[in-house]
A and B are shown apart, each in its own frame.
Chain A
Amino acid sequence: MGTYLIISKREVSSFFDSLTAYVLITAFLGISGFFTWIYGSDVFFVGQASLQSFFSVAYWSLFFFIPALTMRSIAEEKRSGTLEMILSKPVSDFQLVMGKFIAVFELILIALLFTLPYYITVMFLGNVDHGAVICGYFGMLLMSSVLISIGIFASSLTNNQIVAFLLALFIGVFFLIIFDVLAANLTGTLATFLSYLSLSTHYDSISRGVVDTRDLIYFLSFTFFFLFLATFVLSKRNLVD
């Protein structure tokens, strides 16, 4: 356990040292605040004391922000050679990947904590369905963890950050839209299967306030699936023959 935390601690402090963290949090709060309170189908337009408009904005802004945070995680270590330095210390491939995951997850957690004032504001506006809000945050964290692990996997495939970023968006867009759209246009088991793969299906049901173990299993298994894939890609240096 210690090793994960040492790595993630270093990672988090490097996010804050390089200003990445401040830029991310400011941009995330700016964009989500703008669409929640000022523009489009905002809280006042909808006329309900709910955070639904915030969650639907955050859903898309995290889709862009998370790859920006994960793109350097392994790609940069590969490019600069620090991967060799760190992995020749008593750190396993999975510990490294997991440490990176925890660091980005912490950052997302901090960004979401800063949106708690939205919640408090909405409470003054009317009767809030507290269950729905808590589930909404919970769903957002679960969705983030899938996106983070996709991002780290993409970063493990290359030593170029831009490639890692685009790759993460590309994989992410399948889970956010394409599977959903395909499922809507198909019928039969394939449609059911694609609809199961689609992240939005599971996210929607959680953010409506229904926490189903099937959804939990979906999010956790995909998170670990991509983390294991990233570990596998790293360990491939041992297999090259």
Chain B
Amino acid sequence: MGIQVENLTKIYGMQKAIDDISFEVKTGEILGFLGPNGAGKTTTMKIITCFMAPSSGDVKVSNISIYEDQDAIKSKIGYLPESNPLYLDMPVLEYLEFAALIQKVPKEKVNSRIAEMIAVTGLNAEKHKKIGELSKGYRQRVGLAQALIHDPEILILDEPTTGLDPNQIVEIRNLIREIGKEKTVILSTHILSEVEEIADRILILHKGKIVADGTAETLRKHASGSEILRVQILDANSNDIYNALQNLDTVHSVDIVPNEENVFLIESKEETSSRRNIYDLCVNNKWFLSELSPIETKLEDIFRELTMN
């Protein structure tokens, strides 16, 4: 039950919210949608869920086009919209029943589905309360429960953890990971550690275009082709060390870190490592190598690099 997005464009007035994007989500994959505010994440989701029509392009959900049979697509998808809109004046149970009936869950299965969802999302103590009386974390669970009520093959979550406290975030993430074992999930967020933790694959959107697509590791590799080391060498003059380091044949560039004693950032030439050379250098000169550590490019850096002009 994959999703194919083909040359999708949506124009609001003069502005292109999304600009000719194409990607594919495979069955069982958890795809993280990343991007600054206004990058087009929500718009893309609204189009996939058939709430909105694109200006051009096509979306196919398990080979059904959004121009063919919207109801068929809608009933394959469970959707949790951005700010989790719910009918606040309804009790949880009634609301879930409504969601189940609208999704055409067979009458005899409605009650068992509701019971299952209440158990999965841990809403048992709150099930008779009105949704308006629940805290944000519990409302989010109700949102998830209504999205999952008809056991959809695809789950689309727009910023599911925004506005929750740290404990709730962990709980909701665990829940999503649990659900994601059996379903195709698209989730958008701007919390980077979140995608890294949950998603199999990351898609970074910027100004309506896809600027990166891959797993966290491939994105890292892509962003920093060469090794970067942080080195501290003591017992010598920093100028001497600087010159000696620059003369190493695997070293591409050396930076002095200000305000720290003899700390350097060393970028190696592509496909090489300077660790052994640095060690040998220190041994030969009887310098004290007090620190030698690789610097991993953080997802934050990749994100900022890709989405800053």
A positions within 8 Å CB-CB of B: 2-3, 6-7, 10, 13-14, 17-18, 80-92, 237-241
Contact = CB atoms under 8 A, between A and B. Distances in A.
Contacts of B265: none
B6 to A, nearest CB: 18
B50 A88 contact: yes
Given A81-B85, A88-B81, A241-B55, A6 B101 contact: yes
Contacts of B55: 241
B191 interface: no
Contact of B74 (A83, A89, A238, A240): A89
Interface stretch (B86-94, B118-126, B193-201, B202-210): B86-94
B81 A84 contact: yes
B51 A84 contact: yes
A90 B71 contact: yes
Say what secondary structure dominates the interface of chain A: helix
A237 B11 contact: no
A90 B104 contact: yes
Given A88-B51, A241-B55, A14 B12 contact: no
B253 interface: no
A85 B81 contact: yes
Given A90-B71, A238-B52, A238-B53, A84 B46 contact: yes
B89 A3 contact: no
Interface of B: 11-13, 46, 49-53, 55, 70-71, 74-75, 77, 79, 81-83, 85-90, 94, 98-99, 101-104, 146
A82 B85 contact: yes
B74 A90 contact: yes
A237 B50 CA distance: 11
Contacts of B53: 238-239
Question: Sorted from nearest, which 6 A-B pairs have the closest CB atoms?
Answer: A81-B85, A238-B53, A88-B49, A90-B71, A82-B85, A90-B74
B61 to A, nearest CB: 12
23 contacts: A2-B101, A10-B90, A13-B94, A14-B89, A14-B90, A80-B85, A82-B85, A82-B86, A83-B85, A84-B46, A84-B81, A84-B85, A88-B49, A88-B74, A89-B74, A90-B75, A90-B104, A91-B74, A237-B52, A239-B53, A240-B13, A241-B11, A241-B13
